[in-house]
């Protein structure tokens, strides 16, 4: 089982780097210059094939 793309439609100022799509794999969030991350800095791939929520926002 692998997770797909992270989150579908993400805000333009929120960037994601997928380190691994396998179950237990991680994806790390960063914000564009001038924005601060609010929420979790990373997510993990669940056994269901979905990424764990919630995703952060950039403000």
pLDDT tens sequence for the chain (59 residues): 999 999 778 899 999 999 999 999 999 999 999 999 999 999 999 999 999 999 999 99
Q: Which domain holds residue 39?
A: 14-58
In a domain, 9, yes or no: no
Whether pTM exceeds 0.75: yes
* Among 51, 1, 2, residue whose Cα is nearest residue 28: 51
In a domain, 34, yes or no: yes
Strand, coil or helix: 57: strand
Check residue 8 and give its pLDDT: 75
In a domain, 6, yes or no: no
- CA 54, 41, 34, 16 torsion: positive or negative? negative
In a domain, 2, yes or no: no
In a domain, 19, yes or no: yes
Q: How many domains does the chain have?
A: 1
18 burial type by CB count under 10 A (0-12 exposed, 13-18 middle, 19+ buried): middle
The CATH number of whichever domain residue 20 belongs to comes to: 2.10.70.10
């Amino acid at each position: 089982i692998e997770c797909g793309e992270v989150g579908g439609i993400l805000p333009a100022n929120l960037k994601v780097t997928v380190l691994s799509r396998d179950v237990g794999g991680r994806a790390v969030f960063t914000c564009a210059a001038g924005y601060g991350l609010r929420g979790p800095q990373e997510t993990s791939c669940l056994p269901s094939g979905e990424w764990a929520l919630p995703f952060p926002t950039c403000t």
